[in-house]
Amino acid sequence: MLRDRVAANPLWYHTIELEPGVVTSGWFDLRPVVDRLPWPDVRGKRCLDVGTYDGFLAFELERRGAREVVATDIGGHEQWDWPYELRSRGPAYLAALAGPKGNGFEIAHEALGSRVERVVASVYELAPERVGSFDVVVCGSLLLHLRDPVGALEAIRSVCDGVLLSAEQIDLELTLARPREALARVGPGEQLHWWVPNAAAHERMLEAAGFTVERRSRPYCVPFGPAHPPPARTPRNAVRHALQRLLCGGTGVPHRALLARA
């Protein structure tokens, strides 16, 4: 039974409605904000979702009428860009917490009757001879987890014959304090965060990889899903949430989305 399979999956990254009354208990819920992204017309296009995890954006491409969707992701937790202090213990910990990589995608793929093709490959391995080329590439909430985000974007550009939709976490405080300067924080290693840019730095990363930004969303927050641990009630978090409501119209993880042409 689908409900039992969903409940048995140790960790859902995405909140996805698989059928009426069956919704995955994800850490992040893109459903309220997905229409705030500057989507290109994907109807009849060959599309790629990079770093798909449970597949929300890949299935969204399919729902919007893409002719073909390929979804790539790493094959195991040992392939994350682990910082030095977590390299020896991180993969085993995450495997115990989340279960086999790709398990949630397979459950959702079958439940939705999807035709998305999942390909095991890291973003750094993307190349035309491996996956071909695409009219539309989508990459969501991935760059902050990468040691070399610009190198990853260059690999994405090598397979992008059209446009890239890049939806990434941004640092709201840096965005507000230094809106014209491309700045980033090195995030805490325990959360597998590397570079968390302000809005200007997110845009500059794409330009450095050879993309031209054509459209920009306003900042928005990806809401936490039901499985995400509730944020601690601290004075700093209270200030942070007030800033998020002011700039993003809600709370969660601050993001900005860019549509860029290769």
Q: What is the pLDDT of residue 122?
A: 98
Strand (E) or helix (H) holding 222: strand 220-222
**Per-residue confidence at 189, pLDDT binned at 50, 70, 90?**
confident
113 in any annotated domain = yes
Strand (E) or helix (H) holding 155: helix 149-158
Cα–Cα distance, 51 to 169 (Å, whole number): 14
- What would the 3-class secondary structure string for 70-109 be? EEEECCCHHHCCCCHHHCCCHHHHHHHHHCCCCHHHHHHH
17 in any annotated domain = no
DSSP string for residues in 15-52: --EEETTEE--EEE--TTTGGGS-----TT-EEEEES-
> 12-14 and 26-28 as β-strands: parallel, antiparallel, unpaired?
parallel
Query: Scanning the structure block, which residue is given the tokens 């709201």?
Result: 172
188 in any annotated domain = yes
**Per-residue confidence at 81, pLDDT binned at 50, 70, 90?**
very high
249 in any annotated domain = no
Q: Which domain does 132 fall in, by range?
A: 42-219+254-261
25 in any annotated domain = no
22 in any annotated domain = no
Cα–Cα distance, 188 to 184 (Å, whole number): 13
Q: What is the pLDDT of residues 7-27, one digit of tens each?
A: 999 999 999 999 999 999 999
227 in any annotated domain = no
144 in any annotated domain = yes
Residue 203 near residue 179, CB atoms below 8 Å: no
Q: Read off the pTM.
A: 0.96
Cα-Cα-Cα-Cα dihedral sign, residues 194, 198, 204, 209: positive
**Per-residue confidence at 192, pLDDT binned at 50, 70, 90?**
confident
Q: What is the mean pLDDT of residues 234-244?
A: 92
What is the count of structural domains for the chain?
1
Q: 76: domain CATH number? A: 3.40.50.150
Furthest C-alpha separation in the chain: 52
Q: What is the pLDDT of residues 87-109, one digit of tens each?
A: 999 999 999 989 999 999 999 99
Least confidently predicted of 73-87, 109-123, 180-194: 180-194
For residue 172, what are the contacts with CB-CB under 8 A and spacing of at least 6? Answer: 219, 240, 243, 244, 247, 248, 254
Tokens of 87: 């390299």
Residue 191 pLDDT > 80: no
